[in-house]
Amino acid sequence: MTDPIADLIVQIKNAFMAKKDFVHVQFSKLKYEILKIFQEKGIVESFSKEESNKKSFLKIKLKYPQKYFEFKRISKPGRRIYVGYREIKPVKQGYGFGIISTPQGLMTEIEAKKKKIGGEYLIEVY
Parent domain of 51:
4-62
Residues 83 and 43 in one domain: no
Residues 38 and 78 in one domain: no
Contact criterion met (CB below 8 Å) for 35 and 60: yes
Tally the C-alpha atoms within 13 A of residue 5's C-alpha that lie toward its C-beta: 20
Length of the chain: 126
pLDDT tens string, the chain, 126 residues long: the values are: 689 999 999 999 999 999 999 999 999 999 999 999 999 999 999 999 999 989 999 999 999 876 778 999 999 999 999 999 999 999 999 999 999 999 999 999 999 999 999 999 999 999
User: What contacts 109, CB < 8 A, 6 or more positions away?
Assistant: 88, 89, 90, 91, 97, 98, 99, 100, 121
State which of 42, 62, 82 marks the end of a domain: 62
**Statement: the pTM of the whole predicted model exceeds 0.95:** no
Residues 77 and 118 in one domain: yes
DSSP string, 42-54: TSEEEEEEEEETT
Assign residue 77 the CATH number of its domain.
3.30.1490.10
Residues 13 and 58 in one domain: yes
Q: How far is CA 108 from CA 15, 53, 69, 92, 100, in A?
A: 24, 34, 16, 14, 6
Structural domains in the chain (count): 2
